[in-house]
Chain A
Amino acid sequence: MEYDENGVSIVPADLKKEIFEEARKDFRYEEYVRGCLNCGVCTGGCPPHRFFDFSPRIVLQKMKSKDPELIWTMMDEYVWACFQCFTCAMICPFLNSPGGVIAILREIAVRRGFESAKKVLKPYSRVLLKLTAYGNQLSPDMIQPDFFPDWGPHIGYASTDLSVKRKAIPMPTLQVTNLAWDVAPETMKELYDIFDEAGVFKIIESVDPSLYEIIQDIVDDVRSS
């Protein structure tokens, strides 16, 4: 990928136009993008704005400009700075939703397997695996000191003797360590159908092909059991 002097990736103008059209056609677009007075209340209340060069007001203004060039400048990094807390949507006097616009643009980036999406999703591959293969997000065996140095001095103790500690929880489905709870195969099969229908597996294939293969192995095993 090549970048221009402003750090924006260089792509054909047609692609930029396509991205804009795709966003415009989203069923949420009309609800998220209304009038704007540039009052800045969204950016004033925006938590990431305190840490990054990120402004929900700019997001909405660029979207309203209907200029594919301007909208593309957000696709590499900008859209990933948002916390998706929707404070902006809560305080905008017009009831705009800059956070919602971000969601639309991010979904486009993921669906199309853009480099930026791949980069951002890489650290989440373990979560993605658990989520799509088992319907869980975090499991006890993911709690390892190396991964969570910010969890304080007790992380070492918390990550040992997991199966004993889990047995102390008086709920039968919680006595596993590789999952948050024991998921029935029927539940998993239903989940896979939903992911198939919703195109989730396809999206994972486009952003992380090797992760997709691992997930598909598990899916095939469960489905044939």
Chain B
Amino acid sequence: MSENILVIGGGPAGLNAAIMLSELGVNVALVERDSFLGGNPKKFKYKFLFPDMQPADNVIGELIKKAESGGNIKVYYSSEVSDFKENGKKFDAVIKSASGSETKTFDSVIVATGFEHFDPARDAKYSYQLFDDVIDIKDLERMMGENNFVRPSNGKPPKKVAFILCVGSRDRHVGNQYCSRVCCTVSVKQAIEMREHFPDCEAYIFYMDIRTYGFFEDLYWKAMEEHDVQIVKGRIAEITSGPDNTVVCKGEDTLLRGPFEIPFDMVVLASGMEGGPQSPEISSKLGIELDEHGFLKPENVTLSPFKSNKPGVFLAGACTGPKAISDSITEGAAAAMNAYTYAVKNR
């Protein structure tokens, strides 16, 4: 008899966990809240991934294809775990979907419920939703993905675009003190992408610190040296409307200009990552710990970042904190190995 393992969440981490377990011969129930697999990268149509600018479809599309091509994975679309109980060392879960509820016993569980993009409308100084030409990284990603890079206000191509980092991150006012880790690299990637495809369009990046960690630093240097992206140190204090249908960024260039007010055709806010409403929900449903940032808390952040505080329940991907897609895929595999070991031991 083969093992039964529940995977909650069909983003990069959950998909990779499900695929690896399936290859080990485990029966996997993959519970996905949306009507499709792929998580946020699919939902917001990410087009190219850093650092090598490969099409997102090469990664996300591949994972989805593998998960959907049968094997031992049963995908429950538009569904949720509505009830969850411990049963000795195993777990009884009720999976609720459009076609009804199904109760099953699982040997172990992997939680890969991911993150939500910060909603920039929550920070009024950026005037998101007030001005059409103020968008955020996920909006731009979708625009690029749909080959529709124009100013939302008038449908014309922009000539000058600002990228603003740390929106919804590292800010006590919005309740997120942490760094969202990938937004710097994503913004630099987007600026390069924009300069490559629309060389007439100037790009400015306003930053507090540029955190293109590890080898992502290459992109940062490339943006300056090959694509003439203007990198300005200073957080934006206010976005107002300017003459000729522009949006004006007001701030202090703490290194060079001093105070500035620069008009742009378009502003892209690098909104960060949040645990979203799903994290506290799954935390109370499964009886696993939530951390002070609103993400799920690993048992030991260094030794076992993929374990929850409850034996048999494992964590993978951005549900434990802001993370790049590659890290989520790695954690999916790590959680799969641990969930499998737990299942086999307690068979």
Contact = CB atoms under 8 A, between A and B. Distances in A.
A49 interface: yes
A219 interface: no
Given A50-B259, A57-B252, A40 B172 contact: no
B328 to A, nearest CB: 27
B173 A41 contact: no
Given A39-B235, A43-B259, A44-B235, A94 B252 contact: no
Contacts of A49: 252, 259
A94 B174 CA distance: 11
Contact of A93 (B234, B235, B254): B235
Interface in A3-60: 37-45, 49-50, 55, 57
A37 B170 contact: yes
Given A43-B259, A49-B259, A93 B237 contact: no
A41 B236 contact: yes
A37 B250 CA distance: 18
A45 B237 contact: yes
A37 B251 contact: no
Given A39-B208, A41-B235, A91 B125 contact: yes
Interface string B242-271: 000000001111100001000000000000
A95 interface: yes
B171 interface: yes
B125 A38 contact: no
Nearest to A34: B172
Q: Is the interface of B mostly helix, strand, loop or mixed?
A: strand
A43 B254 CA distance: 9
Nearest to A93: B171
Nearest to B173: A93
Interface in B18-46: none
Interface residues of B, number: 20
B259 A41 contact: no
A44 B208 contact: no
Interface residues of A, number: 17
A49 to B, nearest CB: 6
B196 interface: no
**Interface core residue of B171, B209, B252, B259 (most chain A CB under 10 Å):** B252
A40 B254 contact: yes
A20 to B, nearest CB: 24
Contact of A40 (B166, B170, B171, B251): B251
B252 A40 contact: yes
B237 A95 contact: no
A203 B166 CA distance: 45
A42 B252 CA distance: 8
Contacts of A45: 125, 237-238, 250
A94 B172 contact: yes
Contacts of B166: 39, 93
B148 to A, nearest CB: 32
Contacts of A39: 166, 208, 234-235, 254
A37 B259 contact: no
A50 B238 CA distance: 14
Contacts of B173: 91, 93, 95
B172 A93 contact: yes
A40 B125 CA distance: 14
**Interface core residue of A42, A45, A95 (most chain B CB under 10 Å):** A45
Contacts of B237: 40-45, 91
A95 B170 CA distance: 11
A82 to B, nearest CB: 15
Contacts of B259: 43-44, 49-50
B38 to A, nearest CB: 33
Contact of A44 (B171, B209, B238): B238
A50 B250 CA distance: 11
Given A37-B209, A44-B236, A50-B259, A93 B252 contact: no
A137 to B, nearest CB: 32
Contacts of B238: 44-45
Contacts of A50: 259
A164 B254 CA distance: 57
A90 B199 CA distance: 38
Given A41-B252, A44-B236, A45-B238, 15 more contacts: A37-B209, A38-B208, A40-B252, A40-B253, A41-B237, A43-B259, A44-B234, A45-B237, A45-B250, A49-B252, A55-B252, A93-B170, A93-B171, A93-B172, A94-B172
9 contacts: A40-B234, A40-B235, A40-B251, A42-B252, A44-B237, A44-B250, A91-B125, A93-B170, A93-B172
Interface of A: 37-45, 49-50, 55, 57, 91, 93-95
Interface of B: 125, 166, 170-173, 208-209, 233-238, 250-254, 259
